[in-house]
A and B are shown apart, each in its own frame.
Chain A
Amino acid sequence: MYRYDSYDQKIVDERVAQFRDQTRRYLAGELTDDEFRPLRLQNGLYIQRHAPMLRVAVPYGLLSSTQVRTLAHIARTHDKGYAHITTRQNVQFNWPELKVVPEILAELAKVEMHAIQTSGACIRNITSDPFAGVAGDEYIDPRPWCEVLRQWSTFHPEFAFLPRKFKIAVNGATQDRAVIQCHDIGLELKRDAAGEIGFRVLVGGGMGRTPIIGAEITDFVPWQHIITYCEAILRVYNRYGRRDNLYKARIKILVKALGIAEFKRQVEEEWAFGKGGPNTLTEAEVARVATHFTTPAYETQPADDAAYASQRAANPAFAAWARRNVLAHKVPGYAVVVLSLKDPSRAPGDITDAQLDLVAEWADAYSFGEVRATHEQNLVLADVKQSDLFAVWEKARAAGLATPTFGLLTDMICCPGGDFCALANAKSIPIANAIQARFDDLDYLYDIGELELNISGCMNSCGHHHVGHIGILGVDKNGSEWYQVSLGGSQGNDTSIGKVIGRSFAAAEMPDVITNIIDVYRAQRLEGERFIETVRRIGLDPFKIGVYGDAAIIERKQHA
């Protein structure tokens, strides 16, 4: 993974000093709340229900074991013994005191970490495929490009006060695992006919209040020009994006208002000035960054380890975990392990300090000292030998990190919601836990098969509910918490935005509602058909009838 040189380290150290002074001036009354707010947000610091929440950047989800140990230490020392993995592959602490945040940042800086631009109206942490470098369907490793873009966007002076937040994702495999269609800029690595690397660029996608799938602004930008091209997009957005209404300030609204053709015209007019300028990438720089992402020292292994096969045959629980949470690796004899953070006794995405320490230990013992965070709020050991899988499983199971449900209904994405977040309209964690308790039978879950259920506590959509096969959105109705259900959303190559099925529900109704939806699916599915495919084939009406009953649907149609 990328390691800092003296330049990277100095920037992070200077950031610690800068934020320490800003915090001092705020506590001394020299900075008003309004003046301090954007400064602390650009450092990932929110004032939340209980205390400030600190969001630490995990660039494109990569962590070293040393960094994981520091996160464990921070969770233990400055928080209540746990951390939370976010849907931007970052890590959040929910309980640090404002006055110790500069100390936390100093500890992070020692292990090449920071909280720069994890919130605020600026370019946020760049996200990518959590299986980068190990997936069989990858054609270009996105990580060096993410790092190049990270450096370009860090403290970019022109784009520190954009109309609104700005999110970039990069994918380089056949399957999109970075949700590039729902980003302000989505970059798909590709090769042109001559074999040269470049990017297909999507723009104006996003979730939030107005979910929109990104539009293609160009089908190929050669790699040398990706920074100048992104700068042109950002400059047009910074100048012309709406600033009069917070809800209409994302780039997607500007793209929609102008139309993609006119937006592209403006961007390319701007790009004509920057193209070929000093920000043009050099082969030397890309090569320098790429040397940090070389292949680890894999051992020659049999493609199918005999012991692994017999362990699976002998132990059904191990076999179940291996079937769900162990994924194919491009190198023979190796596997990708998903460490599940979806134990029903914890909030989805939460991990304790002790668990973090163990994960660091396993990373060192079994996976070249690296860990990845996924936007689906799990952790990944990306390079485990098949012959080590049984040992990893035994340890993970003992630590509560081997829930064998990766990609199933209970492996849900869930924001912190009203229990922690000051923006939320409703709680999301209790809903997630109630649904997990209802669907606690593994055979039943396996029968339901692949299903993405995503929960957001408000319209900001941190829980990605718009792209959940089942999406749940917390809404406020006259001061009480209600939940709106949508169906048919999807991430990945065939991204789609879910449609709301009807009136919202009280919290206590939610497990029954999900059960009713699943019953409709099981009754209607064709052989081998996944939930999302059934929804697409039969439409929403059968599900509405299953949830609301015939009478309600007929009455609604009569009123329509």
Chain B
Amino acid sequence: MPKLIKNGSVIDDAAQILVLDETQAPEALSLPEGQVFVPLAVWQAHKGVLSDNKAVGVWLESHESVDDLAEDLDSLSAVALNFPKFTDGRAYSGAALLRTRYGFKGEIRAIGDVLRDQFFFMQRCGFDVIQPKTGKYSDAQLEEALASLKDFSTPYQAAVDQPEPLFRRARRAA
């Protein structure tokens, strides 16, 4: 079973990311068994049916806006944000907005080109589930990669994981 990082630990996870190919219309719905993330277009076409199903989450492409989910967050338990390339940093703002602007308490999952050297930033921006790039890490490497979550022990600035900046958290000597 694929492994991912949830709240700092490696766990098994069987959730599927439903990706539509060119021949599939969002209107035609066929969900696999178990936990699944559907594209935004599928969610929008079927949210009346899907919003009662706690096994269904939504995933957004990096150009899609979390603002479009604002009205639906109460009926969602999980949102995944895709990194098409790890250098595409839009999802960091997306996750931060979900947590701070929209108060989303459910799972926010990083998917796509997710590499260990970005784990620290992801965690700071509010991702609680980090699903590494498929096939990138062996089980042992993923355990080792947990260290990257702790790259820096006391960051300067406020973020989702640490809502106060250092100058409010610590009494710093002049």
- Whether A and B are associated in the same complex: the answer reads yes
A239 at the interface (CB under 8 A from B): yes
In whole angstroms, how far apart are the Cα atoms of A279 and B167 in the complex?
A: 9
Q: Are A35 and B151 in contact (CB under 8 A)?
A: no
Interface of A is mostly: helix
Q: Which of A10, A159, A279 contacts B153 (CB 8 A)?
A: A10
- List B56-78 residues whose CB lies under 8 Å from chain A: 65
Within 8 A of A (CB), among B14-66: 65
Q: Which of A38, A151, A157 has the most CB of B within 10 A?
A: A157
**Which residues 271-293 of A have a CB within 8 angstroms of B?**
273, 277-279, 281-282, 284-285, 287-288, 291-292
Q: Which of A14, A121, A278 is packed against the most chain B CB atoms within 10 Å? A: A278
Are A160 and B89 closer than 8 Å at their CB atoms? yes
Return the contact of B86 from the options A14, A18, A30, A161 (Cβ within 8 A): A161
Residue B13, interface by CB 8 Å = no
Interface presence of A238 (CB below 8 A):
yes
Per the bound structure, the CA–CA distance linking A155 and B65 in Å amounts to 24
Set of chain A residues within 8 Å of B121, measured between Cβ atoms: 155, 157-158, 160
CB distance B125 to A121 under 8 Å? no
Contacts of B172 in A (CB 8 A): 5, 7, 285, 288
Which B residues from 66 to 113 make CB contacts under 8 A with A?
86-90, 92-94, 96, 100-101
Q: Once the chains are docked, how many angstroms separate the CA of A292 from the CA of B174?
A: 8
B88/A161 in contact, CB under 8 A: yes
Of residues 99 to 156 in B, which have CB atoms within 8 Å of A's CB atoms? 100-101, 115, 117-118, 120-122, 124-125, 141, 147, 151-156
| A22 located at the interface, meaning its Cβ lies under 8 Å from any Cβ of chain B in the complex | yes
Cβ contacts under 8 Å, B157 to chain A: 151-154, 156-157, 279
Note all chain B residues with C-beta closer than 8 A to A152.
156-157, 165
B113 (CB) vs chain A CBs: closest residue? A35
A interface residues, how many (CB within 8 angstroms): 43
Partner of B158, one of A18, A21, A121, A278: A278
A238 near B90 with CB under 8 A, answer: yes
Bound-state CA distance A156–B92 (Å) is 11
- Specify which chain A residues have a CB less than 8 angstroms from the CB of B87 in the assembled complex: 38, 121, 161
CA distance A30 to B25 in the complex (A): 39
Report yes or no: B159 in contact with A158, Cβ–Cβ below 8 A.
Answer: yes
Q: Nearest chain A CB to B2's CB is how many angstroms away?
A: 20
Residue of B nearest to A36 (CB): B117
Interface presence of A520 (CB below 8 A) = no
Q: Check if B165 sits within 8 Å of A238, measured CB to CB.
A: no
In the bound complex, CA of A292 to CA of B172 (Å): 13
In the complex, the chain A residue whose C-beta lies closest to that of B155 is: A155
Q: Mark A360-390, 1 if CB is under 8 A from B, else 0.
A: 0000000000000000000000000000000
- Measured CB to CB, the closest approach of chain B to A285, in angstroms, equals 4
Q: Is the CB of A11 within 8 A of B156?
A: yes
**Minimum distance in angstroms from A229 CB to a CB of chain B:** 14
B89 x A161 contact (CB < 8 A) = yes
Q: Which residue of B lies closest to A237 (CB)?
A: B93
Q: Would you call B96 and A158 a contact (CB within 8 A)?
A: yes
- Name the residue among B96, B156, B173 with the largest chain A CB count within 10 angstroms: B156
Q: Please measure, in the bound complex, the distance between the C-alpha atom of A159 and the C-alpha atom of B155, giving whole angstroms.
A: 14
Q: Is the Cβ of B166 less than 8 Å from the Cβ of A7? A: yes
> A162–B147 Cα gap in the complex (Å)?
25
Taking a contact as CB atoms closer than 8 A, the residue among B86, B153, B154 that contacts A35 in the complex is B86
Taken together as a complex, chains A and B put the C-alpha atoms of A151 and B172 apart, in Å, by: 13
| A39 on interface, CB distance cutoff 8 Å | yes
* B90 in complex: contacting residue of A151, A156, A160, A239, CB < 8 Å: A239
- Interface pair B92/A11, CB less than 8 Å apart: no
**Given A151-B156, A278-B158, A291-B174; A157-B86 close (CB under 8 Å):** no
A243 contacts chain B at the CB level, 8 A cutoff: yes
Q: Does A191 contact B (CB under 8 A)?
A: no
CA distance A288 to B173 in the complex (A): 8
Interfacial chain B residues near A153, Cβ < 8 Å: 157
A162 to B165, CA, bound (A): 21
Report yes or no: B117 in contact with A14, Cβ–Cβ below 8 A.
Answer: no
Q: Nearest CB to that of A228 among chain B residues?
A: B158
**Residue A522 CB within 8 A of the other chain:** no
Q: Would B153 and A157 count as touching, CB distance under 8 A?
A: no
**Contact indicator A10/B167 (Cβ below 8 Å):** no
Cβ contact within 8 Å between B117 and A279? no
Cα(A277)–Cα(B163), bound, Å: 9
- The residue on B at minimum CB distance from A151 is B156
Closest chain B residue to A35 by CB distance? B115
Known: A22-B117, A157-B155, A160-B118. 8 other contacts (CB 8 A): A10-B153, A11-B155, A152-B165, A156-B157, A158-B92, A238-B89, A288-B172, A292-B174
Q: Ordered nearest first, which 6 A-B pairs have the shortest CB separation?
A: A161-B89, A157-B124, A285-B167, A157-B121, A151-B156, A291-B174
Residues of B whose CB lies within 8 Å of any CB of A are 65, 86-90, 92-94, 96, 100-101, 115, 117-118, 120-122, 124-125, 141, 147, 151-159, 163-168, 170, 172-174
The 27 listed contacts between A and B (C-beta, < 8 Å) are A5-B173, A11-B156, A18-B152, A22-B117, A30-B141, A151-B166, A154-B156, A154-B157, A155-B155, A157-B155, A157-B157, A158-B93, A159-B92, A160-B89, A161-B86, A161-B92, A238-B92, A238-B93, A239-B65, A239-B93, A243-B88, A278-B168, A279-B157, A284-B167, A287-B174, A288-B174, A291-B174
Residues of A within 8 A of B (CB): 5, 7, 10-11, 14-15, 18, 21-22, 30-31, 35, 38-39, 121, 151-162, 235, 238-239, 243, 273, 277-279, 281-282, 284-285, 287-288, 291-292
